[in-house]
Amino acid sequence: MNLKKFLYALISLPLLMSIALSSCEGKSEVSLSNDSISMLDSFKKSNGELCKLKTTVVISFPKEYKDKGTTQKLQQLYNAVVLNSSENVKDTKKALNVFAKSLMMQNSTEDDDTNTPVNEEDFDQIDIDNFELNVKISNVYNNNDLLTFCREDIVKKNDQITSVTHHYVTIDLFR
């Protein structure tokens, strides 16, 4: 019986050594994490009714890669190219908040000039009471020193999907 245990240990020792050595080589892929934010707003339409706005952003972002310094640089690059933040924003949570607020502002009419004359053909034929933007940024590739994200924007008006777009960003980790 002891001989059998000894043979199992002898056979499994090279396997355990290879696992231990491969874990010491460092990370070759990026560890990812998820976060999300949802914002609500409304504005008064020209007919006096309220239009409800909702923006939801769900992201997958780099959490860890190689060492602390490399991770911070990668997160900063992600914030700049994927979340459109200024390049000095290091905190992804802060960049996510700014990104969601900018999306909300794009769809708000608060900054519109009310003195501008409006042509009848400028009005949408469908009266919109609810406007919803769902943005999902997901990782679609994480290998061979490349990290690719897909940004999917789904626009809903009155609970009907009116637009779906996809944008891709690839980050070269080798540079």
Question: Is residue 117, in this structure, part of any structural domain at all?
Answer: no
pLDDT, mean of residues 79-108: 88
Question: Is residue 161, in this structure, part of any structural domain at all?
Answer: yes
| CATH number of the domain where residue 99 is located | 3.30.565.40
Torsion of CA 2, 5, 7, 10, to 10 degrees: -120
Question: Is residue 93, in this structure, part of any structural domain at all?
Answer: yes
Q: Residue 86: which pLDDT band, with cuts at 50, 70 and 90?
A: confident
Buried/exposed 8-17: b ≥16 CB within 10 Å, e otherwise? eeeeeeeeee
What share of the chain has pLDDT > 70, as a percent?
73
CA dist 118 → 46, 113, 114, 115 (Å): 11, 11, 9, 9
Question: Is residue 119, in this structure, part of any structural domain at all?
Answer: no
* Residue indicated by tokens 């949408």: 124
Q: What's the pTM?
A: 0.73
Question: Is residue 88, in this structure, part of any structural domain at all?
Answer: yes
Q: Which of 10-14, 87-91, 146-150 has the highest mean pLDDT?
A: 146-150
pLDDT in tens, 98-122: 999 999 988 775 544 444 555 555 5
Question: Is residue 120, in this structure, part of any structural domain at all?
Answer: no
Residues 37/83, Cβ–Cβ less than 8 Å? no
pLDDT top residue among 89 and 166: 166
Task: Say if residue 4's pLDDT is above 90.
Answer: no
Nearest Cα to 106, choosing from 91, 136, 84? 84
Question: Is residue 158, in this structure, part of any structural domain at all?
Answer: yes
pLDDT in tens, 14-48: 544 444 444 444 445 799 999 999 999 988 888 88
| Residue 39 neighbours by CB under 8 Å, 6+ apart | 54, 55, 56, 100, 101, 104
Question: Is residue 14, in this structure, part of any structural domain at all?
Answer: no
Q: How far apart are CA 66 and CA 94, in angstroms?
A: 23
Residues 118/47, Cβ–Cβ less than 8 Å? no
Which residue segment(s) compose the domain that 89 sits in?
A: 31-110+126-172
pLDDT in tens, 139-162: 999 998 899 999 999 999 999 999
- The structural domain count of the chain equals 1
